[in-house]
Amino acid sequence: MTGTLSSARKHIGVTVGPTLSDPSVMKKQIEQFDAIIIGAGFGGLYALHHLRDEMRLNVRAFDGASGVGGTWWYNRYPGARVDAPGSPFYAYTFSKELVNEWEWTETQASQATVLSYLEHFAKRFNLEKDIQFETWVTDSQWDEAHQQWVVETDSGEFASAQFLICAVGALFVANMPDYPGIHDFSGELYHTGRWPHEHVPFAGKRVGVIGTGSSGIQSIPEIAKEADHVTVFQRTPQYSLPARNRPLTSEELAGYREAWDSLRDSMFKRGGWPFEIMRRHASDYTPEERHAIYEALWEEGGMHLAINSFITVLMDEDVNEEVSEFVREKIRAIVENPETARRLMPDYYFATKRLILDNGYFETFNRSNVSLVDLREDPIESFTPTSVRTTNGGHAIDMLVLATGFDAVTGSMLNLNPKGRDGVSLERKWESRFETYLGTMVPGFPNLFMIHGPTSPGVLYTMPLGGERTTQWIADCIRHLRDNGLGAIEATDEAAEVWDREVNELANKTLYPKTNSWYVGANIPGKPRQFLAHIRGSRFFDKLSEVAEEGYEGFVVETKN
Ligand code: N01
């Protein structure tokens, strides 16, 4: 954040109160819109299209990057791909024309393909003219008197709008490990979530990779193909399933297009998943039959082992352990060196961290140029200009890749840190608990909407579709306000409390909260522990509709000033 709203106001010779109540100054100093959108990734782009073209609102979007794409703009590390469900479902679903005109060529599209798709989307709907790129929103403040949000950008501009839509990304604020002395390392240093746009050559280099989440597991096999040596620094061994990425045939794509309406309908009903889900119980099968089911699902690849094995896999410890052991067996069978295989054995509940899909990750450890350091047995002690030193010795490297993830779900909203009613900041509001109503609004922050906010289904749902559905709800809410001469809508504390309980109760029926994952904020030291996602996506969107039908139950509204 560079400066505050009031300090910059001072800079241009005005103060907060009088400025905002003086229309002539406002016209000169502050550009006015109906809605401001922060972020031009999947969520923000659709919000811009929908609010501007369907609702006919005057909208401005801001993004710090120099192009559209959000997550797909930043995460350019080698091997970055979509996980499940893959093409053509990880895409906008609302326009059949769009579905029919974009030619997906692989089941798990690469980052470059997804970025091209988003660029195509922006061009097709002429969105770029209303996006201000390379512009960070550094501050945002609710202006009570005018029932509007005023935002400040890093270029010292101000803009205001009745509605503020935060499409700031659930996985944006990079988690930089705070190892003392890490800056003593003088070689090339990258974070996967901030990968350079220029080609990064690995040939002839010794590369260290810290982190074995999706980003590490996707990038390590690609880096190993080129580098002299790759040293993987692993803190938690992972379950990873074969992505089985392959070309998507034109017949398959044609079939999906043909059946689009029913597949989309299925996504609505099945938590964003387009295909039928087996609703079977492990106890109805013999151990041999169950094993055969796991084998078939492993061969099928993708997330099927988690989604389609047994319905209690994320609730029943015994079923979960059986699937966990099945994956461990696979790792033992793939990895030739038994000591390396031992270090790669995951021991948390299967699928309670975000599931990872890989393209040859475990196989990579059979290469002679890849070695594994288990940080639990052999922790990092220091860095030198040319090495990482762990308890058992030094590891010479020329390049360090941090695949250490993000301050997930809440980090980007806190980075924005809007100031709501009475100037109370989001940071203060969320000091001990990430309180929201419907994962979309926060008490004390009228007319501020989040796409993929905490306690929304977020990453547990197919995100582009989740963004569409959330935006449609936001748009209906805005229409409701406008049609009824209302100036503001705000979630009540009571509704947020009930919501919080409901989200928690759902999560506590599963094994998710028992694992230290970014779903509970455990990857960020000091972050309040709270399960951050609504685990029943379809039920979540039904609830959004019910709340609207009931006249926005759980909200208070104000007439327009
Ligand atoms: O981040 P992560 P990610 N010292 O937090 C380790 C999405 N995504 O960027 O498990 C040593 O999952 C950390 O260890 P531990 C997807 O939703 C999607 O990989 O905390 N290690 C872990 O191994 C995903 O879940 C795609 O013990 C440290 C790793 O770093 C999410 O983004 C692709 C450490 C971080 O894993 C985040 O994935 C990529 C430290 N100080 C990402 N700090 C798709 O395919 C952290 N770690 C769509």
Q: What is the mean pLDDT of residues 288-300?
A: 98
- Residue 535 CB partners (closer than 8 Å, separation 6+): 457, 460, 506, 507, 510, 512
- Each residue of 436-464: pLDDT tens digit? 999 999 999 999 999 999 999 999 999 99
At residue 29, the pLDDT reads 75
Q: Which atom of ligand 1 is nearest to the CA of 375?
A: 11
- Each residue of 505-514: pLDDT tens digit? 999 999 999 9
Given a cut of 70, whether residue 2 has pLDDT beyond it is no
Q: What is the mean pLDDT of residues 403-408?
A: 98
Given a cut of 50, whether residue 474 has pLDDT beyond it is yes
Q: Which atom of ligand 1 is nearest to the CA of 75?
A: 39
At residue 405, the pLDDT reads 98
| Of 60-64, 80-84, 182-186, 387-391, the least confident | 80-84
Q: What is the mean pLDDT of residues 42-46?
A: 98
- Residue 28: pLDDT band (50, 70, 90) is very low
- Residue 8: pLDDT band (50, 70, 90) is very low
| Residue 127 CA from chain centroid, whole number | 22
- Each residue of 304-313: pLDDT tens digit? 999 999 999 9
Testing ligand 1's pocket by substitution, the residue of 234, 462, 523, 529 carrying the most ligand atoms inside 8 A of its CB is 523
- Each residue of 212-252: pLDDT tens digit? 999 999 999 999 999 999 999 999 999 999 999 999 999 99
Q: Are 319 and 282 in contact (CB under 8 A)?
A: yes
Determine the Cα–Cα distance for residues 170 and 54; give it in Å rounded to an integer. 26
At residue 25, the pLDDT reads 40
Cα 353 to middle of ligand 1, angstroms: 9
Q: Are 416 and 137 in contact (CB under 8 A)?
A: yes
Q: What is the mean pLDDT of residues 525-544?
A: 97
Q: How many CB atoms lie within 10 A of CB 156?
A: 12
Cα separations in angstroms, 229 against 208, 370, 520: 8, 6, 34
| Residue 8 CA from chain centroid, whole number | 32
At residue 304, the pLDDT reads 95
DSSP codes of every residue in 262-274: HHHHHHHHTTT--
Testing ligand 1's pocket by substitution, the residue of 106, 404, 520 carrying the most ligand atoms inside 8 A of its CB is 404
Q: What is the mean pLDDT of residues 155-171?
A: 97
Q: Which atom of ligand 1 is nearest to the CA of 216?
A: 19
Cα 460 to middle of ligand 1, angstroms: 15
- Residue 301: pLDDT band (50, 70, 90) is very high
Q: What is the mean pLDDT of residues 92-111?
A: 97
- Residue 390: pLDDT band (50, 70, 90) is very high
At residue 4, the pLDDT reads 27
At residue 11, the pLDDT reads 23
Given a cut of 90, whether residue 287 has pLDDT beyond it is yes
- Please name the residue that has the structure tokens 């151990």: 287
- Residue 204: pLDDT band (50, 70, 90) is very high
Cα 177 to middle of ligand 1, angstroms: 12
Q: What is the mean pLDDT of residues 422-441?
A: 98
Q: Which atom of ligand 1 is nearest to the CA of 214?
A: 19
Q: Which amino acids bring their CB within 6 angstroms of ligand 1? A: 80-83, 171, 175, 177, 192, 210-216, 218, 235-236, 354, 375, 403-406, 459, 518, 523
Determine the Cα–Cα distance for residues 261 and 403; give it in Å rounded to an integer. 38
Testing ligand 1's pocket by substitution, the residue of 235, 461, 463, 527 carrying the most ligand atoms inside 8 A of its CB is 235
Q: What is the mean pLDDT of residues 265-290?
A: 95
Q: What is the mean pLDDT of residues 203-208?
A: 98
Q: How many CB atoms lie within 10 A of CB 104?
A: 23
Cα 211 to middle of ligand 1, angstroms: 6
Given a cut of 70, whether residue 360 has pLDDT beyond it is yes
At residue 6, the pLDDT reads 29
At residue 20, the pLDDT reads 34
Q: What is the mean pLDDT of residues 18-23?
A: 37
Determine the Cα–Cα distance for residues 33 and 492; give it in Å rounded to an integer. 26
Cα 485 to middle of ligand 1, angstroms: 46
- Say what percent of the chain tops pLDDT 70: 95
At residue 98, the pLDDT reads 97
Given a cut of 90, whether residue 157 has pLDDT beyond it is yes
User: Model pTM?
Assistant: 0.94
